[in-house]
Amino acid sequence: MVFVGAVAVGIGAAGALIAAALLYLIGFFTNLFYYGRVSFQFVSPSGTQLGDFALLVPLFGGIVVGVLAKYGSERIRGHGIPEALESILINKSRIEPKVTVLKPIATAVSIGSGGPFGAEGPIIMTGGSFGSVLGQMLKLSSSERKTLLVSGAAAGMAATFNTPVAAVLLAVELLLFEWKPRSLIPVGLASVTATVFRWSILGSGPLFPVPISPLPDLTTMASAAVVGLIAGLASTILTFAVYASEDAFKKLPIHWMWWPAIGGLVVGLGGLLAPRALGVGYDTIGLLLLGNLAVGAASVLLVVKGIIWSVSLGSGTSGGVLAPLLMIGGALGAVEALFLPPGSASLLATVSMGAMLGGVMRSPFTGVVFTLELTRNVNVLPLLLVAAIVADFVTVFTMKRSILTEKVARQGVHVSREYEVDVLEQIPVSRVMHREFEKVERTTPVDVFLSMLTPETLGDGYPVVGDDGKMIDYLSRAEITKLMKGSQGLGLTVGELAAHPKVIAYPDEPTKAAVDRLAETDAESLPVVDPDDISEVVGIFSRDDAFRARVIWFKEERSLERHLSVASWLSRFMHGSSKGGAGERS
């Protein structure tokens, strides 16, 4: 972990440089396509003077992205996070080195030509690619490569938005599939390192500074719940729209290389109706969070952004989902301010933004912390928590998977997002082991021992004991079965044939520890010994016992029991009072 953590620090520094380079590259292509000038300044396409000719810019960008994907690498298609998931779950955290170069170029062209995306998803994929490539150059396990891949992804997100904590939460909720020091510490180091480097390159202030709002009251909390409910429904609609669009493109009788161009044409048409819907739109998000965008403009932006984003994303172009969700959520909150108290467009836009993130990604804590770090408005935290939890509650019932995991699921890989402590960690060996077992003395002839056994009476294992009854050897079920099928060992004693047990279990340790030893040695059973005297066998642990632990958990999880009722409690209380509290009737 120390070594991987040290490497992750380097990846964090590189992630900040990659993020800055991509943002500058997006600025370069935006200036080139919409303003005909060479500049790396980050600008919005909405101020262009191209008029109706602006319709052709996203079309051209889509063609370039399609060509890069066809003749470079198909892996550059998509919004980044599902591709990182796919690399972790399917490809053992291995990503092609050329993706590290092609992904940011394709993204810069896509967003620079008006694509309604964020830079964060591709930066996550690019940072992850860098971490994966570096991990492939070192002699590491698949899990260690995954840690470096996710370190690069978290570094990219932290450097883009100046949100180090949210980046780590996103890594845990979406990419790591575990909460362990071996991965959490390196990823945290990478995220913090990227953030510190980002301060020197892009500044240390919040991306969307807003005034601190007053502490919420009950009315505002109720409004936050309504905001979360609406955001959950909107999250469902957006997710279905994206994948309905993707399914529609798959039915077209043309090569997928041309799909981004068709998506670009839709983007261009949308840009004529709502120019602010084009590009990353950080300036527009800032206006929404400050309450400085008219409700009519926010309404048009909400509809147009949702349509062009879902269509273009379904076309397989390159771009991220976080910034569009921020804009859509903010616009939705601005519209909700018309009918929800306290009527503050700024406050409801902020809350809706976090709820939309939590609902679409099914990552409520990431949505809460992400919005908090983006705005630094601490007083909005309770509202964000309510809204994000309600949005997640809605999407649990309306969607099987989030927008980020649906793509991987369509390839036959189910992504579990419900983290819990392994039940085998909670049940001790003593609760499931076999306490009744037979010992065999070491001087017993093998043929005599075998004559006492039948396939029906064969136990999971037999401790071989000396004259004092202490275990000195162990015969497993597999070894005995092999003896019963052949003539090996005839004429020998059990003690001459058995081997000293390589692994043992203890009654007070978690079942998972014993299961891991079974798997590591490919054994069927282990002797369970007294911790104070390892030659004293107190039980046998087998693979069936491991399954029995799961059965115990299932019964405890599903069994409905009532241990106390009001009537019985009152009866016991009155009985105890009249008797002076002495005794209790069962």
For 138, half-sphere exposure in the C-beta direction (CA atoms, 13 angstrom radius) is 20
| Cβ(208)–Cβ(370) below 8 Å | no
pLDDT in tens, 533-558: 988 999 999 988 888 888 888 887 77
Number of Cβ atoms within 10 Å of the Cβ of 252:
12
**Span 2-17, mean pLDDT?**
90
Fold of 424-556: CBS-domain (3.10.580)
Task: Please determine whether the domains at 2-201 and 424-556 fall in the same fold group of CATH.
Answer: no
| Rounded Cα gap, residues 572 and 575, in angstroms | 5
Number of neighbouring beta carbons within 10 Å of residue 181: 10
Residues 6 or more apart whose Cβ sits within 8 Å of residue 489: 446, 483, 497
pLDDT of residue 557: 77
Q: Map out the domains of the chain as residue ranges.
A: 2-201, 218-409, 424-556
CA distance 263 to 261: 5
* Tokens describing residue 452: 């006492």
The token duo for 93 is 């955290």
> pTM of this prediction?
0.80
CA–CA dist 292, 458 (Å, integer): 79
Q: With a cut of 80, say whether residue 417 has pLDDT above it.
A: no
According to DSSP, residue 340 is labeled S
* Tens digit of each residue's pLDDT (9 = 90 or more) over 479-500: 788 777 766 666 788 877 776 6
CA-CA distances (angstroms) from residue 180 to 176, 184, 391, 580?
Answer: 9, 6, 28, 53
Note if the bond before 445 is cis, omega within 30 degrees: no
C-alpha R_g of the chain: 31
Secondary structure of 457-518 in HEC code, one letter for each residue: CCCCEEEEECCCCCEEEEEEHHHHHHHHHCCCCCCCEHHHHCECCCCCECCCCEHHHHHHHH
Six-digit token string for 53: 């000719």
- 8 A C-beta contact, residue 119 and residue 111: yes
Query: Tell me, which fold does domain 218-409 have in CATH?
Result: Clc chloride channel (1.10.3080)
Looking at residue 114, the DSSP 8-state letter turns out to be: T
How far apart CA 376 and CA 204 sit, in angstroms, is: 12
Stated length of the chain: 586
Cα Dmax for the chain: 98
Question: What CATH topology corresponds to 2-201?
Answer: Clc chloride channel (1.10.3080)
What pLDDT digit, counting tens, does each position of 347-374 carry? 999 999 999 999 988 889 999 999 999 9
Q: pLDDT band for 249, please (50, 70, 90 cuts).
A: very high
Residue 416 is predicted with a pLDDT of 63
pLDDT value at 303 more than 80: yes
**Per-residue tokens: 534:** 């390892």
Summarize the confidence of residues 276-288 as an average pLDDT.
90
Specify the higher pLDDT residue, 253 or 83.
253
Q: Alpha helix locations (H) across 138-251?
A: 142-161, 164-170, 181-201, 218-250
pLDDT tens readout for residues 154-205 = 898 898 889 999 999 988 877 777 788 888 999 999 999 999 999 998 888 8
Phi, psi of 131 (to 5 degrees): -65, -40
